[in-house]
Chain A
Amino acid sequence: MAVASTTQTGARPGRAGRRLAAPSWVGTVPFLCYVGIFLLLPTGIVIWGAVRNSTGFQFSNLKLLGNSDVRSYFVGSIELSAITAVVGAVLGAVLAYAIASGNPDGAVRRFSLAGSGVLAQFGGVTLAFAFSATIGPVGYLTQASWFYDFPQGIVPIYVYFQVPLMVLVFLPAIDGLRIQWREASENLGGSTWHYWRYVGGPLLAPAFTGALLLLFANALSAFATIQAWENQIAYTVPQQISVAISSEVGTANPSEADVLALGMVVMVAIIMTGYALLQRRAARWLR
């Protein structure tokens, strides 16, 4: 009776007569360990460092957030991100509509999407180089020095990767607009304006707003591009984090970096929650 019968890996534990085997969720342990060490631990370190110094728990580090310099970094970041998110969202929506209204299997669509995929990831130093080749001191197109002003000069560069991201995120929503809705609206007496005002617009609104939030978070987190473009002065939070943790200046300031990082995480977390909620609404209508 005690002879062990063949067990399947991950078999239900506790079956009478069977040898107890490990519960199924054990299979996820390798993944959990990995993510635990390289994602959750660093996050914990950041939060820990922001609320603690060498003498124990204290929140005075957080007072740094009241510091006018620090505040200017946040304002700068938010300003730049908001502008590029709105511009990117509107332009991206227009471009997405142009792509969506074409042949679904056509070359135009395929290349546009591949191009968007590349350019959305393009940001970073390569993008900065391309722009310096275009509008930099020996630029191909022009040598306008106001492009180094913040934020207006950086906006076109950020828009360069925001628009493709918008296309990637928003195109599925436009695809989700069924042609029958347009035809039904027309049949019931609605003009193009009526359709967009009462049907198309409201249906796309959650997806659009969600995408806008995503673009906002994307711009907030961007580091490489602005670092390669404007490494003399720190305007944004990521830049200042970089200054704070590097020993270039001589005195690394980990606490400041932690606090700034925490501030960023909170901002982005709020935005991403909003995005997730809007996505769910959009998905229900435009599946």
Chain B
Amino acid sequence: MIFNECMMKNSIRSIAKPLCTAFCALVLASCGVSKVVIEGSYPSPNVAKLPLSLAVVYDEPLRNFSYIEYSETGAEEFNIASGASHVALFDAVLPAMFESVVEAVSLEEAESLGVDAIFVPAIDEFQLALPNKTKLDVYEVWIRYNMRLVSGDGAPIADWVLTSYGKTPTESLRTADAAINDAAVVALRDLASSFSLSFAQVPEVRDWLASR
């Protein structure tokens, strides 16, 4: 009888340990940060090509850009990685806007390529608005960029700010991760549309194009 009780205790312990581990892992996972990698497809813009050869430099902060949204208690809630998506977006947009586009790893390398201009995009600020904080039925993403254009030999041409905005309504059966992704993709498309339509209208760029 004593032997049986011992066996039962050992058996309960052997089951309880993995169960407790699994439960703790589940609790920790549910409290942890949710990683959202922005994924979307971006069409090429239908705009008249500028007769320019361009080198583009995607620096490390842009390539690895991620934004962390904190909860009201200060805990990390969402980690939104959008660097790769920004690179994919510019890769779709730039070849449609310029006669030729090459990618360079650094400004120094770009200057050695003998191109007409070098473009260096950067993300200045990223903001996320969640329905549980704004009390609105939409997820919103707002991004501010710093666009820099220098001549082929590195002389500054233009340095301007662009903002983009995207929103997506809340829907039942759609996760917050999916809604954030959709809002960010709308914001990225907004960037592509305003960049491709306003590039030649930036006063410094317009003057530089006129002087060529």
The finding on whether chains A and B are genuine partners in a shared complex, rather than unrelated, reads no
Residues on B lying within 8 angstroms of A by beta carbon are: none
